[in-house]
DNA sequence: CTCAAAATGAGTTGCGTACCTCAAAACACC
DNA sequence: GGTGTTTTGAGGTACGCAACTCATTTTGAG
């Protein structure tokens, strides 16, 4: 009737006895310190495996003394999504300090590869882990690899750099997100035919590029009556997004759909309103105070949402697990894509 | 440019000095042990507050010595959703044993209040925490309260008993889930009018009752052309669900919609197929191997999903936080309602 | 003021690991 | 066989807290 899910609680001492070696040797093996014969290493590891021994994480944490420091490298400027991530990290502060973890926010211009790379290089050595909203660019990739080589655990957040040796990516599958956006725009436009506009922050941000890719994929294959206009770049800024979109709306009277890939949503909405074009099907990202209002007003038709709280917490948990050498609960840290419309606003 | 989110790392000794008392007194206050004047208590608490002191969780965990034991009281019988919860708990086993936590599964007949209550009473004293899929019944409520009084932390899982003194509920808002189901059935039925059937496990399970309530609410207010038939009870068993539904389908030729509130989905699907009525809009719960297939086959039209992995992990985390006296990250532990249709099967 | 009860201080032990030192043993090489 | 090097053992200290004992001080009631 009752079935237990955990092993018994052995200690290092038990493993030492099992393997017929001293505590010191087990310690050397566990932390792959030098000075142990390969044969002995194997014997110790066998004993660990055999008993599926797990070091007591609390004891390990206590013994190491120093606190762990993590840095979150995030875009400077007023990006609501990023502000939410910060806010959720703030809510964790009791949790963090009970574990003697410190999390520092580093604001930088993530749109400029050299600036971002320099910000990353500057962190080297000071931190146990770094979470970064990363532009996919060779110099950024190099900076990430340097951090990894220096022993720092690195996770990419929201936007990935898969060609780097980062340990983990915390964020959604952006191609799938783009596909979802495409399907939504297509379905919501309905029978009408016409043009579809795309506003992105930068095509250098991998998340944006991937979303655009997925979006175009769906548009091409499933909605041949809609033609997609060249991508506008608004650098996730309201003013800039508004300007470029306003100009486009002026030139094309037959725009029926709009996909806003990143931030700058306020500017996009303003351009639509000012042009009297709120009939345009408008799909964007993230549920914020602003997008919530736009959805309720009917200016925006759907938001593709990734839970920022989940991303913030997942990034911390993953960095911590990496630093401790614990396995990552992949299922837990996976970020899902949510479709939010007026009727199911959370 | 960099902003830190955590306090400095004080220790109990620092608090003792601050408050002008000894370590022993701080310890007494922290664990509300007797023998401290109210005035002194206040002084110590003030010092703790003032420095937003957090005891080092690793040190506390190490010092208490004994491992924590949690029990999960779950329905016996082959309920796929519950099996998934068990499976996800299994995936956590390394995580659990690194923290010296043991989780035991206790299978019982959650549909029989006295049996369930007895199972709960039997756990008293042996466990630090209990997660229970609970029937809302006075004797179950009493059993939960007894556990709480004995110092055991109790969370209700999937189905709540809000009138009890359980510490937390891990599960979705079932009224909202029922409303969502109602909206889906209504929209997917479209212009047709006719009758709508409901199959539930038991109306005594609060989750089922609440879903039905929400469902009826939406049907009444938004879909007046659809009339809801009396609820069938299938006790979450395939055979029984099939029988009761088959009989109903025989009596009513104009059934256009069906809401399966709990498990027994296989039986429900079989009744529909055997009666040649797969045109009926069928909305159910949970994404399992079975419902996935039914969705792909078009037998089922939508599934309301709550992530079982998330529920399992949240229950463990909440029990652990409660046992340690840590705050609960409510945002993190909240379970969301997902709508899953053929096109967005995860 | 006296005396018992209540409150507090001072101290100890142990939890399981990390990290360190130093000495002893085993080994490889010539 | 002797040398130097590598490997291993033995042991200690520290981490921050829980939980305990026992002595001492303070308090309040009479």
Chain A residues within an 8 Å CB radius of B4: 102-104
pLDDT at res. B343: 67
Q: Tell me the nearest-neighbour CA distance from B274 into chain A, angstroms.
A: 34
Distance between CA atoms of B125 and A268, rounded to whole angstroms?
60
Beta bridge mates, B285: B304
Contacts of A10 (CB under 8 A, 6+ apart): A51, A53
Where does chain A hold its CATH 1.10.260.40 domain(s)? 12-55
- Binding-face residues of B in 243-282 toward A, CB within 8 A: none
Å: B324 CA to C10 C1'? 27
- For every residue of A7-65, DSSP letters joined together read -----HHHHHHHHTS-HHHHHHHHTT-S---HHHHHHHHHHHHHTT----HHHHHHHH-
Beta bridge mates, B102: B69
Asked if the Cβ of residue A331 lies within 7 A of any atom of strand D, the reply is no
Residue nearest to nucleotide D27 (CA to C1'): B37
Chain D positions with any atom < 7 A from a protein CB: 6-12, 14-21
Place of tokens 């990894």: A148
Check if A221 contacts B (Cβ < 8 Å): no
A-B contacts at Cβ under 8 angstroms: 144
Q: What pLDDT, in 10s, does the model give residues B243-270?
A: 999 999 999 999 999 999 999 999 999 9
Residue of A nearest to B324 (CA): A98
CB contact under 8 A, A58 and B61: yes
Fold of B174-305: Rossmann fold (3.40.50)
Distance between CA atoms of A241 and A260, rounded to whole angstroms?
9
Answer whether A130's CB lies under 8 Å from A140's CB.
no
Tokens of B200: 């539930």
Which residues 50-79 on B are within 7 A of strand C at the CB atom? 62-63, 65
pLDDT at res. B200: 95
Q: Tell me the nearest-neighbour CA distance from A343 into chain B, angstroms.
A: 10
User: A150 burial class (0-12, 13-18, 19+ CB within 10 angstroms)?
Assistant: middle
pLDDT at res. A187: 77
Chain A residues within an 8 Å CB radius of B183: 343
Of A90, A104, A331, nearest to B91 by CB-CB distance is: A331
CB contact under 8 A, A2 and B106: yes
> Which of B1, B2, B3, B5 is most worth mutating to test chain A (most A CB atoms within 10 A of its CB)?
B5
Where does chain A hold its CATH 3.40.50.2300 domain(s)? 67-171+308-335, 174-305
Pick the CATH number of B65-171+308-335 from 3.40.50.2300, 1.10.3470.10, 3.10.20.30, 3.40.50.150: 3.40.50.2300
Distance between CA atoms of A128 and A320, rounded to whole angstroms?
9
- Binding-face residues of A in 160-189 toward B, CB within 8 A: 180, 183
Strands A101-108 and B2-4: antiparallel
Walking along chain A (346 residues) 10 residues at a time, the average pLDDT comes out as: 58 90 90 86 90 92 91 89 90 93 92 94 92 93 96 94 96 91 85 92 88 94 93 93 96 96 94 93 94 92 91 97 94 88 74
Check if A90 contacts B (Cβ < 8 Å): yes
Tokens of B108: 């019982």
Where does chain B hold its CATH 3.40.50.2300 domain(s)? 65-171+308-335, 174-305
Check if B327 contacts A (Cβ < 8 Å): yes
Chain A residues within an 8 Å CB radius of B7: 93, 97
Chain B residues within an 8 Å CB radius of A325: none
Å: A62 CA to D14 C1'? 10
Check if A11 contacts B (Cβ < 8 Å): no
Beta bridge mates, B81: none
Check if B50 contacts A (Cβ < 8 Å): no
Positive/negative CA dihedral, B198, B202, B203, B209 = negative
pLDDT at res. B8: 54
pLDDT at res. A101: 93
> Which of A3, A6, A60, A337 is most worth mutating to test chain B (most B CB atoms within 10 A of its CB)?
A6
Residue of A nearest to B94 (CA): A54
Q: What pLDDT, in 10s, does the model give residues B86-140?
A: 999 999 999 999 999 999 999 999 889 999 999 999 998 889 999 999 889 999 9
Q: How confident is the model at residue B6 (pLDDT cuts 50, 70, 90)?
A: very low
Which residues 33-52 on B are within 7 A of strand C at the CB atom? 34-37, 39-40
Q: How far is CA A250 from its chain centroid?
A: 35
CB contact under 8 A, B344 and A339: yes
Answer whether B98's CB lies under 8 Å from A54's CB.
yes
Pick the CATH number of B12-55 from 1.20.140.10, 1.10.260.40, 3.50.50.60, 2.120.10.70: 1.10.260.40
Q: How confident is the model at residue B293 (pLDDT cuts 50, 70, 90)?
A: very high
Of A7, A91, A92, nearest to B97 by CB-CB distance is: A7
User: A243 burial class (0-12, 13-18, 19+ CB within 10 angstroms)?
Assistant: middle
CB contact under 8 A, A58 and B55: no
Asked if the Cβ of residue B7 lies within 7 A of any atom of strand D, the reply is no
pLDDT at res. B243: 96
What is the C-alpha end-to-end distance of chain A, expressed in Å? 39
Tokens of A334: 């996976």
What's the mean pLDDT in B20-35?
Answer: 86
Distance between CA atoms of B50 and B323, rounded to whole angstroms?
24
- CATH tag, A67-171+308-335: 3.40.50.2300
Report the length, in residues, of chain B.
346
Which is more confidently placed, A3 or B289?
Answer: B289
Q: Which nucleotide is nearest to A37 (CA to C1')?
A: D7
Contacts of A182 (CB under 8 A, 6+ apart): A214, A215, A216, A217, A218, A219, A222, A223, A259
pLDDT at res. B254: 94
List, in sequence order, every beta strand (DSSP E) within chain A. 2-4, 68-75, 101-108, 129-132, 153-157, 168-170, 194-200, 226-228, 232-233, 255-260, 281-285, 302-305, 338-340
> Which of B8, B76, B90, B98 is most worth mutating to test chain A (most A CB atoms within 10 A of its CB)?
B98
Chain B residues within an 8 Å CB radius of A339: 344
Q: What pLDDT, in 10s, does the model give residues B163-179?
A: 999 999 999 999 989 99
Contacts of A42 (CB under 8 A, 6+ apart): none
Residue of B nearest to A329 (CA): B92
């Amino acid at each position: 009737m009752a079935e237990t899910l955990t092993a018994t609680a052995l200690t290092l001492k038990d493993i030492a006895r099992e393997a017929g070696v001293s505590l010191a040797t087990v310690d050397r093996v566990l932390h792959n310190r030098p000075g142990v014969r390969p044969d002995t290493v194997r014997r110790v590891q066998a004993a660990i495996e055999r008993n599926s021994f797990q070091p007591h994480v609390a004891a390990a944490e206590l013994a190491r003394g120093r606190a762990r420091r993590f840095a979150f490298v995030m875009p400077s400027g007023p990006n609501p999504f990023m502000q939410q991530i910060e806010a959720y990290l703030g809510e964790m502060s009791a949790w963090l300090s009970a574990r003697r973890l410190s999390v520092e926010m580093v604001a930088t211009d993530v749109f400029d590869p050299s600036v971002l790379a320099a910000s990353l290089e500057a962190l080297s050595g000071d931190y146990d882990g770094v979470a970064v909203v990363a532009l996919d660019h060779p110099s950024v990739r190099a900076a990430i690899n340097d951090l990894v080589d220096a022993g720092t655990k690195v996770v990419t957040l929201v936007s990935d750099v898969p060609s780097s040796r980062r340990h983990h990516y915390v964020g959604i599958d952006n191609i799938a997100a783009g596909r979802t956006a495409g399907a939504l725009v297509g379905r919501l436009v309905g029978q009408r035919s016409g043009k579809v506009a795309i506003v992105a922050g930068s095509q250098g941000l991998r998340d944006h590029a991937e979303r655009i890719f997925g979006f175009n994929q769906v548009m091409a294959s499933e909605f041949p009556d809609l033609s997609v206009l060249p991508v506008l770049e608004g650098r996730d800024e309201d003013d800039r997004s508004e300007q470029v979109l306003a100009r486009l709306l002026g030139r094309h009277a037959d725009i029926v759909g709009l996909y806003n890939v990143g931030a700058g949503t306020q500017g996009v909405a303003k351009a639509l309103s000012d042009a009297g074009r709120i009939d345009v099907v408008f799909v964007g990202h993230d549920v914020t105070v602003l997008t919530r209002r736009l959805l309720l007003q009917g200016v925006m038709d759907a938001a593709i949402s990734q839970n920022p709280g989940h991303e913030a917490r997942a990034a911390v948990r993953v960095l911590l697990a990496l630093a401790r050498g614990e396995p990552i609960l992949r299922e837990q840290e996976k970020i899902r894509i949510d479709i939010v419309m007026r009727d199911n606003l959370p």
